[in-house]
Amino acid sequence: MLSPSILKQLVTIVGEDRLLLAAEDFQHYGLDRTTVWQANPCAVVLPGSIKEVQQIVLLAKELNLAIVPSGGRTGLSGGAVAKDGEIVVALDRLNNIQEFNPLDRTVTVGAGMITENLQNFAVDQGLFYPVDFASTGSSQIGGNIATNAGGINVIRYGMTRQWVAGLTVVTGAGDVLELNQGLMKNNTGYDFRHLFIGSEGTLGLICEATIQLTRAPEETVVMVLGIDDFPAILDVLQAFTSKIDLTAFEFFSQLALDKVVAHQGHAIPFDTKAPFYALLEFEIKDREVLELAMSLFEHCAEQGWVLDGVVSQSLSQASALWKLREDISETLWEFQPYKNDISVRVSRMPDFLDEVNKLVEQRYPDFEIVWYGHIGDGNLHLNILRPVHLSNDDFVAQCGAVSNEVGQLVAKYEGSVSAEHGVGLLKKDYLHYSRSASEISLMRAVKAVFDPNGILNPGKLISAKQD
């Protein structure tokens, strides 16, 4: 518990109504979507300006108080968990559009801007913000940047990193840095902007971002295909990408489909059951593209890769097909899944998935394993569902033990233990499977420069000192 004098100083900075001390506020702001830890902050503050953020950081630095930055708290790695008496700095109020430049196609927004609101703003301007995922209705831009969020359009548009033209951050030293200032070309040495993208709040608090927008896509069509086995998914991917520029290529297992249909009430795409399903999306610039797509579908069926399929005939049908994939995460939430968010190069996926499948089936013969992911960019989501008879602690312990073996396979295939959800608390112990000892040492050195007192999101991503 903070002393009355410290609480008074925080009130002086943010106002009495913006200092929250109730247990329900601690629970709301002190956790993300992971279920492993208990919320235990000492206070929650909601600053309304960059100046207030800076003042909070300077006070925390002076008093050696830890800070956990908080956005939409949709993360799945414990990156926004306050479990050790930290001050939660929630950036919800920094949610305004500061400037829109139609010539540059850029918009400057506060870190608390909801992703969906930015997407809608872009549409209103006849433009497009392509970073898209299931939590766009509640995630915030600052959090997206801090975790370098990906989503369903990465195969065409890349990660969040590709769309950040400038940043304003407050470092752990209390400095306000304005990075790149929206420039398209800036060859003046080190680009610190990219250090903060994916830093998970360990170097500074992202307060404002200049976001690059792009041309809105043409009308799109969605295909859902039933696939005979996992290697065939990549055969289908290669067949389509050789002829058509896809905006999305997703996959999910039959079990994932069963869960979504049962719990969300969605209609199955077709009667034929398949081990896996692929969802493809592409622009229809003219009739020839659709005809080409249908010929590719027929080719894949002739090869025995595709068992059945459906093509959207309307926007409503396209939306319904997308829900089969987008609603998986929400559906699985009630099962308290243990998630592995991993990636390897697309070409190595069949062998990697085969080894991982054998491992988890051997270790978890009685557990339900749900696979889905952004297969077009090499991202797999492995979800282990907790049996009702098993306590959460025992479940996490069993899954954690096997995560080391999964990590070893990730290292073998030169992949990443975190493709898009960050490292946080959940994956910190597995970081060495993706980063060398030298890299981790350099990451600690970088943190020491920007956060010399080690007050920003301590314990996340990397330890301040070597364990």
The per-residue pLDDT for range 364-420, each reduced to its tens digit, is 888 899 999 998 888 999 999 988 888 888 888 888 888 899 999 999 999 999 988
Percent of the chain with pLDDT over 70: 99
Tokens describing residue 132: 């898209």
Query: Which segments of the chain belong to CATH 3.30.43.10?
Result: 4-92
Residue 218 has pLDDT above 60, yes or no: yes
pLDDT of residue 465: 63
Query: Which segments of the chain belong to CATH 3.30.70.2190?
Result: 220-329
pLDDT of residue 335: 84
Query: Which segments of the chain belong to CATH 3.30.465.10?
Result: 97-215
Interval 292-306 mean pLDDT: 97
pTM reported for the whole predicted model: 0.92
Cα 375 to Cα 149: distance, rounded to the nearest angstrom = 16
Which among 386, 404, 403 has a CA at the least distance from the CA of 395?
A: 386
pLDDT of residue 176: 98
Percent of the chain with pLDDT over 90: 80
Residue owning tokens 């997407």: 119
Interval 78-101 mean pLDDT: 97
The domain over range 220-329 is classified in CATH as 1.50.10.20: no
- 466 or 242, higher pLDDT: 242
Out of 33-37, 326-330, 410-414, pick the least confident. Answer: 33-37
CATH number for 4-92 (one of 3.30.360.10, 3.40.50.970, 3.30.43.10, 3.30.70.890): it is: 3.30.43.10
Distance between alpha carbon 342 and the CA centroid of its chain, in Å? 12
Identify the bridge partners of residue 282 per DSSP, sorted by sequence position: 221, 246
Interval 76-96 mean pLDDT: 96
Confidence class for position 188, pLDDT limits 50, 70, 90: very high
Residue 35 has pLDDT above 80, yes or no: no
pLDDT of residue 16: 96
The per-residue pLDDT for range 428-467, each reduced to its tens digit, is 999 999 999 999 999 999 999 999 999 999 999 987 665 4
pLDDT of residue 439: 97
pLDDT of residue 393: 84
- Considering the domain delimited by 335-433, tell me its CATH architecture: 2-Layer Sandwich (3.30)
Query: Which segments of the chain belong to CATH 3.30.70.2740?
Result: 335-433
pLDDT of residue 466: 58
pLDDT of residue 340: 85
CATH code of the domain occupying 97-215? 3.30.465.10
Residue partners of 369: CB distance under 8 A and separation at least 6:
255, 357, 360, 361, 382, 383, 384, 385
Sign of CA dihedral 389, 393, 398, 400: positive
